[in-house]
Amino acid sequence: MMTSRNCRIWLAGLMVLGLCAGCFGTTPPAVFYSLTPIADTAAIQPQAAEGKIAIGIGPVKFPDELNRPSIVTRSGRNRLKVDPFHRWGGSLEKNFTRVMEENLALLVKTDRVMTRPWERYFQPDVRLALDIRQFDGRLGEYASLNITWMIVGPEGDEPLLVRRTIIQEAVADDSYDALVDAQSRAVARLCREIAEALSKQLPTQ
């Protein structure tokens, strides 16, 4: 027969187990995010000469601290925060280059944009080399893109243009949705700048 002391111990154990189960049960599920390309085609002015310019994207470099599944934010001047419950849907590099492909195809009015490694049949007229230094932000404040990019001719010789671009976009609120939306706008601004540069390097096709 269970004594009152044993009964109290047994009940206390059940309470501890219940609390532990409750703790495990409150673990939030991971949420996945994706950058979005330019959507409002009616608002876009042609940025480069119309034609079938073939644009190759690559190589693309991301710093190690950003090239991870989790979204990275800043919580201080020298402090980064990696949130395991807010993640990129796929790799950040592929997410970034996919949106660049779609944006440049729209802005330059070509369907010949491909990221390295491209198919054998694809022969780019120009290549874009991207070195991303910063692509993060602070929730409720801003999203930052700091990138050095270059336009290289078809022979892969001396760059036709080398430029560093720093972009900040305001974040509407303290949600990750708002942060990723601001990051998408930053990529769109970068693509408009690249498209304008291409219009000067390749005025006609």
- Residue 17's nearest CA partner among 9, 6, 29, 27 is 9
The answer as to whether 164 is a domain residue is: yes
- Residue 197's nearest CA partner among 165, 158, 156 is 165
**Which position has the token pair 């404040």?**
141
pTM of the model: 0.81
The answer as to whether 10 is a domain residue is: no
Q: Determine the 3-state secondary structure of 75 from DSSP.
A: strand
Least confident of 18-32, 76-90, 122-136, 189-203: 18-32
The answer as to whether 19 is a domain residue is: no
pLDDT tens for residues 141-183? Answer: 999 999 999 999 877 678 999 999 999 999 999 999 999 999 9
- 18: which residues sit within 8 A by CB, 6+ positions away? none
The answer as to whether 196 is a domain residue is: yes
Q: Is the pLDDT at 129 greater than 90, yes or no? A: yes
CATH code where residue 196 lies: 3.40.50.10610
- Residue 55's nearest CA partner among 119, 131, 133, 111 is 111
The answer as to whether 183 is a domain residue is: yes
pLDDT tens for residues 39-54? Answer: 855 445 544 444 578 9
Give the pLDDT of residue 119. Answer: 86
The answer as to whether 12 is a domain residue is: no
Mean pLDDT over 24-36 rounds to 84
Alpha-carbon distance values, 144 to 129, 170, 174, 177 (Å) = 19, 9, 15, 15
The answer as to whether 7 is a domain residue is: no
The answer as to whether 13 is a domain residue is: no
**Which position has the token pair 């049960």?**
25
Looking at residue 118, what DSSP letter applies? P
Q: Determine the 3-state secondary structure of 203 from DSSP.
A: coil
**Number of folded domains that form the chain:** 1
Look up the domain containing 191 and give its range.
29-201
Residues 168 and 195: their CA atoms lie apart, in Å, by 19
Give the pLDDT of residue 76. Answer: 79
Give the pLDDT of residue 5. Answer: 54
- Residue 126's nearest CA partner among 57, 197, 59 is 57
